[in-house]
């Protein structure tokens, strides 16, 4: 048995956002969203450390104020993965988990699950999660990334379009009834050495046309191992999403302990 792998989590967050500027700092039940995400991430049993990677002094100060570990990154870094790589380079770690900063309900078990992918398969260099699509709206929405998976559990392709195309019917309800469709859940694990290589590659044509940065790895000839989750991601992309999250929080006991 080899030495135990050191696994860290990094949460990349920017203040600027085309749809919702300043969203990491919005209030959710008396705490900022980034604090909610940080607290949930720290509950993951496999992580030895959780860090926030940001380019904004306001976010930096908020994370410091609640006792979180935070690293300032250059504003020129635009993608979340590249921001994670910038911070990971200076960290002692074997595996790095890229945790989305806009999911205040993130399940700690999901973080553990995506890390476990690389522990289970020593040949895998990158892992992510998928969830079965059950609603036509998800299948057709360009805001939901879809993924097709091979028989060994590796992603074949990610797209904002419905994939695969169910040629025998134009009725999308039959698509879901007759084939298993998956949506991508935006959390990643990487071997640190691979992440360093990944961050040095230029954006690739498919990545740029689909606006899905994970395609950079596939276009370079690497594979992404996936695991299925039953947890439903709740992302805050717009002010409307924020109101929905606040309503969910009021009805649930998830935050009542703090």
Q: Count CB-CB contacts under 10 A for residue 9.
A: 28
Q: Nearest-CA neighbor of 181 among 232, 231, 136, 127?
A: 136
Q: In Å, how far from its chain's centre is CA 187?
A: 3
Question: Within the chain, which residues score under 50 in pLDDT?
Answer: 1, 255, 257-258
Asked whether residue 2 is assigned to any structural domain, the reply reads no
- Count the domains in the chain: 1
In sequence order, the β-bridge partners of residue 91 are none
Task: Please name the residues in contact with 14: beta carbons below 8 A apart, sequence gap of 6 or more.
Answer: 24, 54, 55, 56, 83
CATH code of the domain in which 44 resides: 3.90.550.10
User: How many CA atoms are closer than 13 Å to the CA of 248, on its beta-carbon side?
Assistant: 16
Judge whether 71 and 163 are in contact, CB under 8 Å: no
Judge whether 184 and 100 are in contact, CB under 8 Å: no
Task: Please name the residues in contact with 135: beta carbons below 8 A apart, sequence gap of 6 or more.
Answer: 176
- What pLDDT does 233 receive? 81
Judge whether 204 and 219 are in contact, CB under 8 Å: yes
Asked whether residue 162 is assigned to any structural domain, the reply reads yes
Judge whether 60 and 34 are in contact, CB under 8 Å: no
| pTM summary value | 0.91
Asked whether residue 35 is assigned to any structural domain, the reply reads yes
- What pLDDT does 25 receive? 92
Could you tell me the CA-to-CA distances from 178 to 2, 59, 97, 131, 181 in Å, in that order?
43, 46, 34, 17, 9
Asked whether residue 199 is assigned to any structural domain, the reply reads yes
Asked whether residue 170 is assigned to any structural domain, the reply reads yes
Cα(16)–Cα(32) distance, integer angstroms: 16
- What pLDDT does 251 receive? 74
- Domain span at residue 141? 7-251
Judge whether 37 and 11 are in contact, CB under 8 Å: yes
- What pLDDT does 249 receive? 78
Could you tell me the CA-to-CA distances from 205 to 24, 163, 183, 186 in Å, in that order?
30, 19, 22, 20
- What pLDDT does 226 receive? 98
- What pLDDT does 1 receive? 45
Asked whether residue 131 is assigned to any structural domain, the reply reads yes
Asked whether residue 1 is assigned to any structural domain, the reply reads no
In sequence order, the β-bridge partners of residue 226 are 128
Asked whether residue 256 is assigned to any structural domain, the reply reads no
């Amino acid at each position: 048995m080899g030495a135990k792998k050191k696994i860290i989590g990094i949460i990349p967050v920017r203040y600027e956002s085309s749809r919702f500027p300043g969203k990491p700092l919005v209030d959710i039940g008396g705490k900022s969203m980034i604090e909610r995400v940080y607290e949930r991430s720290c509950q993951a049993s496999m992580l030895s450390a959780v860090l926030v990677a940001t380019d904004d002094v306001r976010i930096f100060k908020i994370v410091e104020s609640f006792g979180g570990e935070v690293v300032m990154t250059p504003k020129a870094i635009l993608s979340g993965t590249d921001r994670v790589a910038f911070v990971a380079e200076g960290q002692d770690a074997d595996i790095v988990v890229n945790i989305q900063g806009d999911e205040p309900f993130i399940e700690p078990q999901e973080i553990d699950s995506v890390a476990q992918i690389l522990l289970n398969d020593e040949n895998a260099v990158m892992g992510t999660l998928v969830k079965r699509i059950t609603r036509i709206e998800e299948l057709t929405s360009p805001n939901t990334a879809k993924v097709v998976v091979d028989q060994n559990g590796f992603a074949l392709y990610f797209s904002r379009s419905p994939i695969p195309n169910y040629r025998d019917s134009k009725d999308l309800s039959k698509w879901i009834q007759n084939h298993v469709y998956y949506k991508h859940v935006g959390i990643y694990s990487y071997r640190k050495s691979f992440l360093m290589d990944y961050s040095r590659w230029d954006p690739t044509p498919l990545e740029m046309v689909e606006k899905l940065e994970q395609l950079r790895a596939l276009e370079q000839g690497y594979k992404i191992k996936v695991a299925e989750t039953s947890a439903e991601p709740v992302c805050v992309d717009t002010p409307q999403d924020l109101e929905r999250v606040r309503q969910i929080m009021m009805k649930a006991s998830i935050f009542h302990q703090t």
